[in-house]
A and B are shown apart, each in its own frame.
Chain A
């Protein structure tokens, strides 16, 4: 009944509490002042407040801002797709599958292999849509397979081990897969073949690039499929039951092992989709591609409320937009130079901020009975 003790609300007592309160105040203050300076600089770069905050401020054009938001959304959709895997595994097994980012990377890597082979055969240019479907399925297949093998080899023997043991194992798995791809495929950057023009051009009134539209559409379709799978099918019901309490689910005749494999497979498939989207959007992949997006995707899952699937996607969009827009919206107006270098720092600061203010995420976490606090 009582898990970890929760600090009581009320006046700050210890030094740590006071420090944390100070930290929260400073963080909120920074955001407010940064935003205010941004608005001031947008109105007129010459007003006194704007000058004080950043004498070199140039403001941001409307089109530039829109471009950033769209890039953020498409990036966030990828994070969301990867985050689903983290969220599902955490919900069911209660540990962070650190290696999930590498499943995503291997998806992108497979996409590179298949797309270059298709390009050599001349199909990539002549029939892009058909090739894309083949590439997509290839990646989904490999990522799913990898996730399932990972579960079987590394995680299944550790069921019921102390909580940090599977996490450490998954760090090892991540290390291994990352370097496996480097020794097998070489350390060089892998470039996808050139994409047709309509993918690169901007469409609709909002001037969205074709690849961004593809990413957002793929994320939307995936979410609908996942919702259907989890809420409307027998497999989904089994997943929810195992997530609630694996032991009782087993007593009710649910094959827990198979359900957990399904969870890994589904998470792997979405990571594969995200991998292809990454390849199409950025055009290249290397062995380290999976690391940072993986961590950010996990952050997304936490931000949305771990175990909550819709939350994972919302969290992904949140992190994606925040890291695209945040530096220019808050740091640049304050006179920080070279803000684009701090994108990743902003994403991590986001995670820390959310965990400080609301550790259970936006939608509240859904955990196994034994993990609940």
Chain B
């Protein structure tokens, strides 16, 4: 699966929140075409890692290199323009915009037409609008018929929880990234839905050529879809490897103390 080319390299990354080290000289790589899951107990620094990569928290020291160049010093929108898109743990949609608009607005950094084009209604403007719309519908179509049809022009606030999560992924896809960061994509979903989404994550890589990093607590999802598992604990890299190795690693089980049953269950089945 992996081509051996590191898309994302994290080097000695340290994030310091006024004395509290959320991440402590973390090193990891993500290779092209990989699906990597990041696991770890609560407070291990998983979301902080995502926030650091997407430039939403300042980096204390270390470096984040994406496709050979550093992301440090960029604003979040520039990171997204480089080809990194993310979803949020607590779904954050533009709830009063329509579903179509949600995915249309995400193509902002891939499109160019500004005020002048809009005012003069130039041919370039119109064709770009059509493209944006077509691309938006294509992205939404990936999730079956749930987000298209009469839903296209409804505000996102009417969506069910699971469909909000799907729309958030669609919105991230619409930014046309290389690397997708999914923060707990199946949290709060029922087993059927999460199984379906797990399949979709696989298809995202196979059909859309995304490299995917996702945070997940649901071990069955981690087992089913990830090529590699990275375990964080107290802001440090505990271990990494494929699921079978990681899940029996005594250090991991210790880190999850009290939650070790989950891991055993998952391996048993």
Known: A2-B56, A2-B57. A8 touches B47 (CB 8 A): no
Known: A2-B56, A2-B57. A8 touches B73 (CB 8 A): yes
Total interface residues on A, CB under 8 Å, equals 11
The verdict on A7 contacting chain B, using a C-beta distance below 8 Å, is yes
Asked if A13 and B76 sit within 8 Å, CB to CB, the answer is no
Asked if B51 and A2 sit within 8 Å, CB to CB, the answer is yes
B75 neighbours in A (Cβ, 8 Å):
5, 7-8, 13-14
Contact of B72 among A6, A7, A8 (CB under 8 A): A8
Contact of B56 among A5, A13, A14 (CB under 8 A): A5
Roughly how many angstroms separate A10 CA and B75 CA in the complex, as a whole number? 11
Asked if B51 and A8 sit within 8 Å, CB to CB, the answer is no
Contact of A13 among B47, B57, B58, B74 (CB under 8 A): B74
The verdict on A341 contacting chain B, using a C-beta distance below 8 Å, is no
Asked if B76 and A5 sit within 8 Å, CB to CB, the answer is yes
B56 neighbours in A (Cβ, 8 Å):
2, 5
Asked if A10 and B55 sit within 8 Å, CB to CB, the answer is no
- B19-63 CB contact bits vs A (8 Å, 1 = yes)? 000000000000000000000000000010001000111110000
Residue of A nearest to B90 (CB): A1
Residue of B nearest to A11 (CB): B73
Asked if B58 and A6 sit within 8 Å, CB to CB, the answer is yes
Residue of B nearest to A5 (CB): B56
Asked if B72 and A10 sit within 8 Å, CB to CB, the answer is yes
Looking at the assembled complex, report how far the CB atom of A92 sits from the nearest CB atom of chain B, in whole angstroms: 24
Roughly how many angstroms separate A350 CA and B58 CA in the complex, as a whole number? 28
Looking at the assembled complex, report how far the CB atom of B177 sits from the nearest CB atom of chain A, in whole angstroms: 18
A13 neighbours in B (Cβ, 8 Å):
73-75, 78
A14 neighbours in B (Cβ, 8 Å):
75
B58 neighbours in A (Cβ, 8 Å):
6, 8-9
B73 neighbours in A (Cβ, 8 Å):
8, 10-11, 13
Looking at the assembled complex, report how far the CB atom of A253 sits from the nearest CB atom of chain B, in whole angstroms: 29
B72 neighbours in A (Cβ, 8 Å):
8, 10
Q: Indicate the member of A2, A9, A11 with the most B CB atoms within 10 Å.
A: A2
A10 neighbours in B (Cβ, 8 Å):
72-73
B47 neighbours in A (Cβ, 8 Å):
1
Residue of B nearest to A2 (CB): B56
Residue of B nearest to A3 (CB): B56
B51 neighbours in A (Cβ, 8 Å):
1-2
Roughly how many angstroms separate A139 CA and B47 CA in the complex, as a whole number? 53
Roughly how many angstroms separate A11 CA and B72 CA in the complex, as a whole number? 10
Roughly how many angstroms separate A14 CA and B75 CA in the complex, as a whole number? 9
Residue of B nearest to A7 (CB): B75
28 contacts between A and B (CB under 8 A): A1-B47, A1-B51, A2-B51, A2-B56, A2-B57, A5-B55, A5-B56, A5-B75, A5-B76, A6-B57, A6-B58, A7-B75, A8-B55, A8-B58, A8-B59, A8-B72, A8-B73, A8-B74, A8-B75, A9-B58, A10-B72, A10-B73, A11-B73, A13-B73, A13-B74, A13-B75, A13-B78, A14-B75
Nearest 3 pairs between A and B by C-beta? A10-B73, A5-B56, A8-B58
Taking A6-B57, A6-B58, A9-B58 as given, write out 20 further A-B residue pairs in contact, using a Cβ cutoff of 8 Å, ordered by the A residue number: A1-B47, A1-B51, A2-B51, A5-B55, A5-B56, A5-B75, A7-B75, A8-B55, A8-B58, A8-B59, A8-B72, A8-B73, A8-B74, A10-B72, A11-B73, A13-B73, A13-B74, A13-B75, A13-B78, A14-B75
